[in-house]
């Protein structure tokens, strides 16, 4: 039904008159249920180790992991994404340690699941494990070989599923990897293991602090991931990527990075109506943190940024600020 509204019978400022009223009519809200906390687990580390490029974030040794998981769970956060920081001596051309059932991330997953019911998301990609820092194996010309990488990624996914991961999250951007992973999971009776596909992952400059955190930046050096991650110019291609991944067996999809790609988040949610996650990546987080610490922006800018993801259509947000924001929301 069409209707017209006019001033002064209509004053839109009436619903903005105070905070209780503004909260009552808010179209979107953020809760701790919407947040996932990324965690870096470092091989051979005792205690914790701060990550200078990610203010307030640390790498954890296995001995300090349980306490951190308890802290995250106590805030009402239901999921963690676990990323490995392996011994550099174990890195090789083929990312062999990714297939080791006793590697650091598998140990971490088993430890988390034996002490908590929090959902664990495990990343599938070879870049933390390769000497060249790429997400797949290279051919003789230094090009990432899509088809030779697929069986390795599928085997890596099985290793993570066996360790107890609730969600397998392929972030490598190889064509066809979701189908390979889904078939491997089905053939090994992991019928209920979810696939959270990094379906629309862009070749962005916002990833620097993450690569520093997992120790892959030195391996990649001046190298580029432009031949497999998406061009920042494209949105129609993102919809094709998402559609293919859903068809191949993805249960939910990811858009990465986040804030500069809100148009992609909305387009994906509107088109496919599947659970849509978004990653507020390391560069976004670090940028806002630097502005807050220098008093260029107010602290609440982080909460504003995350709420914008929800408004765009995201069902869940991976953010390094999950604990910080959950504390604020719950207070």
Domain ranges of the chain: 29-330
What local confidence, expressed as pLDDT, does residue 5 receive? 87
CA–CA distances in Å: residue 260 to residues 47, 202, 218, 256: 35, 11, 26, 9
Q: Give the chain's residues under pLDDT 50.
A: none
Question: Which has the closest alpha carbon to 232: 258, 204, 254?
Answer: 204
Catalytic residues: 201, 256
Residue found by looking up tokens 């090789």 in the block = 92
Do 87 and 129 form a contact (C-beta atoms < 8 A)? no
Residue 237 and residue 258: Cα distance in Å, rounded?
17
CATH fold, domain 29-330, is: TIM Barrel (3.20.20)
For the chain, give the mean pLDDT.
95
| 92-118 pLDDT per residue, tens | 999 999 999 999 999 999 999 999 999
Residue 203 and residue 238: Cα distance in Å, rounded?
12
276-280/316-319 β-pairing: parallel
Residue 289 and residue 54: Cα distance in Å, rounded?
8
- In angstroms and rounded to an integer, the radius of gyration of the C-alpha atoms of the chain is 21
Residue 149 and residue 140: Cα distance in Å, rounded?
14
Residue 199 and residue 218: Cα distance in Å, rounded?
26
Residue 288 and residue 38: Cα distance in Å, rounded?
17
What local confidence, expressed as pLDDT, does residue 212 receive? 87
Main-chain dihedrals φ then ψ at residue 199, nearest 5 degrees: -75, -40
Residue 103 and residue 86: Cα distance in Å, rounded?
8
Residues 6+ apart with CB under 8 A from 102: none
Main-chain dihedrals φ then ψ at residue 92, nearest 5 degrees: -145, 180
What local confidence, expressed as pLDDT, does residue 1 receive? 59
Residue 283 and residue 303: Cα distance in Å, rounded?
16
Question: Which has the closest alpha carbon to 78: 318, 253, 329, 273?
Answer: 318
Both tokens of 16, joined, read: 């903005």
């Amino acid at each position: 039904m069409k209707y017209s509204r006019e001033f002064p019978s209509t004053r839109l400022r009436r619903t903005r008159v105070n905070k209780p009223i503004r909260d009552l009519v808010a179209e979107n809200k953020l809760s701790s249920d919407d947040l996932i906390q990324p965690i870096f687990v470092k091989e051979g580390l005792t205690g914790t180790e701060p990550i200078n490029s990610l203010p307030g974030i640390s790498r954890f040794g296995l001995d300090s992991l349980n306490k951190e998981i308890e802290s995250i769970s106590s805030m009402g956060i239901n999921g963690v994404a676990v990323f490995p920081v392996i011994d550099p001596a174990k890195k090789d051309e083929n990312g062999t340690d990714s297939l080791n059932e006793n590697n650091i991330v598998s140990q971490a997953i088993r430890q988390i699941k034996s002490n908590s019911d929090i959902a664990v998301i495990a990343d599938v990609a070879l870049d933390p494990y390769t000497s060249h820092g790429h997400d797949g194996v290279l051919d003789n010309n230094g090009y990432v070989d899509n088809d030779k990488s697929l069986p390795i990624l599928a085997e890596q996914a099985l290793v993570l599923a066996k360790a107890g991961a609730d969600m397998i999250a392929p972030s490598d951007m190889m064509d066809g990897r979701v189908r390979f992973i889904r078939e491997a999971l089905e053939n090994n009776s992991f019928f209920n293991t979810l696939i959270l596909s990094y379906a629309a992952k862009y070749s962005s400059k916002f990833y620097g602090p993450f690569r520093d955190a997992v120790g892959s930046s030195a391996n990649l050096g001046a190298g580029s991931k432009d031949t497999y991650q998406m061009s920042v110019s494209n949105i129609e291609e993102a919809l094709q990527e998402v559609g293919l991944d859903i068809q191949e067996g993805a249960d939910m999809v990811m858009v990465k990075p986040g804030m500069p790609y809100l148009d992609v988040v909305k387009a994906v949610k509107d088109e496919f109506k599947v659970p849509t996650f978004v990653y507020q990546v390391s560069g976004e987080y670090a940028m806002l943190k630097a502005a807050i610490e220098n008093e260029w922006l107010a602290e609440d800018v982080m909460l504003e940024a995350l709420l914008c993801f929800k408004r765009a259509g995201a069902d869940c947000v991976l953010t390094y600020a999950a604990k910080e924001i959950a504390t604020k929301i719950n207070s």
